[in-house]
Structure 1
Amino acid sequence: MPKALHDLHVMVTRPAHQAEGFRQRLELAGAVVQLLPVVEVRPLENPQAALTTLAQLSRYDTAVFISANAVNYGLSLLDMQQGEVLQTLTLGAIGKQTARTLQQHGFTAHWIPQQGFTSEDFLALPQTKQLANRHILIFRGQGGRELLADTLRERGAQVTYVDVYQRVCPQIDANQLKSLHEQQQLDIISITSSEGLLNLLVMLGNPDWIKTVPLLVGSQRMLATARQAGFTGTIRIADNPGDEAMLQALLHWVQEFQP
């Protein structure tokens, strides 16, 4: 009996160190998977500013982690004493995956959206509504959105960002996509961030053909980014960009076309 995704050709664009779990799920369901990372996550070239901020960690009562990468790279910059200080703070995690990553390192997140993974979901938590006299440190990658800090400040908090890693557009040849497309071996491209989608266009030189290829995206915001960038093909939206949600959205998409 054929598997649910039998011979479906899927391009996975997650960062290389985060792609294996999704690839395994897809292949178990019968898909043919190609990997093309469109975002590269790297340590900071110069971490001095981050180290200076983290040396004053005891000034804060709350620390918020934007992503699992923010957890892994942020904690790698802490010394033992700073780690002990972090244990005493109220910890926030934007999304359950970020909370799980904190837990793997021995930390418990106190503020976690039960649904969703965005700054908007985090800001909907009742704990974030009244923040007078709160001193909040936000762990993130360079160049993230300002919505979170701006809103927390409007609600009375004093907020500082600490950039603990960087995201860059990979310097790799993406033209394999065109060959796969021409050979009818590119059925859908999985996209897990708006930044990654825009990087893909840069890597390819923004050709028209890519904008007709179906996309699997992890949020309404990614859908809006794709449409604004000129994508006219089918776009399937998952509940979130996690592996399981993306797989379920893909399974539902395939089922719609089965007789």
Structure 2
Amino acid sequence: MEEVVTTATKVLLRESNNSNKVRLHGKLILVTRAAGQAEEFACLLKAKGARVLEYPTIRIAPPESYADLDVALKTLTAFDWVVFTSRNAVGNFVERLQMLDLDVSTVNFCRICAVGPKTAELLHDNGVRVDLIASNYTGEGVVAAFAGLEMTDRWVLFPKGDCARDVVIDGLLRQGAHVRDLITYRNLPQDKIPTQLVIALEERQIDCVTFTASSTVTNLASLLGEQRFAKLLQGVVIASIGPITSKTCNKFGLEVHVEPSEYTIKALTEEIAKYFDRVD
């Protein structure tokens, strides 16, 4: 299949090429993101000289039922706000609107909140206006973004993944809002782990393992078995995209060596390079 590189990826690569291309020369880095989202991360790492082993620990699947979501989509004008905390939520939300022959522009009758600039960018690409972007790209950041707004008796639609935390729901309820949270996709683990990956871990070939969501941690731990997971990753550099994912790593006995202050793959890539600059 012909490789497709997005405009955003090309821009990121050009920026990366302005720095030392071989800062990660020869390092073998495991990327555990979902298959449809790993390419950009892998390209950034390769631009710095890394070798990349991709193993998506997540399969993105549709919800078990669309019934409640379809009702909400057909009555979008009843909501004051729609909150998106992931690009997967955006993609599946828009796809379902299209499946129902509903115009995506309908969502612009509501005000829209995005967890960060990447989620906002995808919304813009689909013709959706974004009114509020959290400055801290977490559920807590979303709640904080609403803190200065009048939310009493406002109706909020929260399309989410099945593994989403309750932080957004609880925070908005405390601010007086009514929240309708609906699952738009499920994070499922892969059925099995490739022999190549197990051998690479057992033979200590992998220099760094990256985790970009808590589910990437829990799914890999589930596939390997918790004790084996902790043993195989002992001594390997662990790179986490942010504090929530790092907390999950710690729960499974992993020490996190790299965590960027900005929770993006671009920042994570740069922090990985800085880490190896220091230790090499």
Q: TM-score, normalised by structure 1?
A: 0.92
Give the Cα–Cα distance (whole angstroms) in 2 for the partners of residues 189 and 167 of structure 1: 20
The question of 1:72 aligning with 2:91 is answered: yes
Q: Which residue matches 1:251?
A: 273
Shift in alpha-carbon separation, 1:95–1:242, aligned structure 2, 3 A:
same
1:48-96 deviation per Cα after TM superposition (whole angstroms, max 9, x unaligned):
2211222221211111112111111001111454533311210011111
After TM superposition, the structure 1 = structure 2 runs for residues 77-226 of structure 1, keeping only pairs within 5 Å, are 77-78=96-97, 79-81=100-102, 83-113=104-134, 115-125=135-145, 129-206=149-226, 207=228, 208-212=230-234, 213-226=236-249
> Which residue identity lines up with residue 244 of structure 1 in the other structure?
K
Shift in alpha-carbon separation, 1:110–1:127, aligned structure 2, 3 A:
farther
Q: Tell me how large the CA RMSD over aligned residues is.
A: 1.9
Asked whether the equivalents of residues 13 and 192 of structure 1 are also in contact (C-alpha less than 8 Å), the reply is yes
After TM superposition, the structure 1 = structure 2 runs for residues 28-67 of structure 1, keeping only pairs within 5 Å, are 28-67=47-86
Please state how far the C-alpha of 1:16 moved relative to its aligned partner: 0.4
Asked whether the equivalents of residues 13 and 36 of structure 1 are also in contact (C-alpha less than 8 Å), the reply is yes
Unaligned runs of 5+ in 2: 1-19
Number of aligned residues? 256
1:84-112 deviation per Cα after TM superposition (whole angstroms, max 9, x unaligned):
33112100111111101100101121110
Asked whether the equivalents of residues 187 and 215 of structure 2 are also in contact (C-alpha less than 8 Å), the reply is no
1:10-41 deviation per Cα after TM superposition (whole angstroms, max 9, x unaligned):
00000000001111111121111101111111
Asked whether the equivalents of residues 65 and 98 of structure 1 are also in contact (C-alpha less than 8 Å), the reply is yes
Give the Cα–Cα distance (whole angstroms) in 2 for the partners of residues 172 and 104 of structure 1: 35
Unaligned runs of 5+ in 1: none
Seq. identity, %:
24
Q: Which residue matches 1:10?
A: 29
Asked whether the equivalents of residues 216 and 250 of structure 1 are also in contact (C-alpha less than 8 Å), the reply is yes
Q: TM-score, normalised by structure 2?
A: 0.85
> Which residue identity lines up with residue 41 of structure 1 in the other structure?
I
Shift in alpha-carbon separation, 1:7–1:152, aligned structure 2, 3 A:
same
Q: Which residue matches 1:239?
A: 261
Give the Cα–Cα distance (whole angstroms) in 2 for the partners of residues 112 and 133 of structure 1: 21
1:148-201 deviation per Cα after TM superposition (whole angstroms, max 9, x unaligned):
111111111111012111110111224433311333320010100112101111
Give the Cα–Cα distance (whole angstroms) in 2 for the partners of residues 2 and 244 of structure 1: 14
Give the Cα–Cα distance (whole angstroms) in 2 for the partners of residues 243 and 220 of structure 1: 14
Asked whether the equivalents of residues 9 and 32 of structure 1 are also in contact (C-alpha less than 8 Å), the reply is yes
Please state how far the C-alpha of 1:129 moved relative to its aligned partner: 4.5
Q: Which residue matches 1:230?
A: 253
Q: Which residue matches 2:12?
A: none
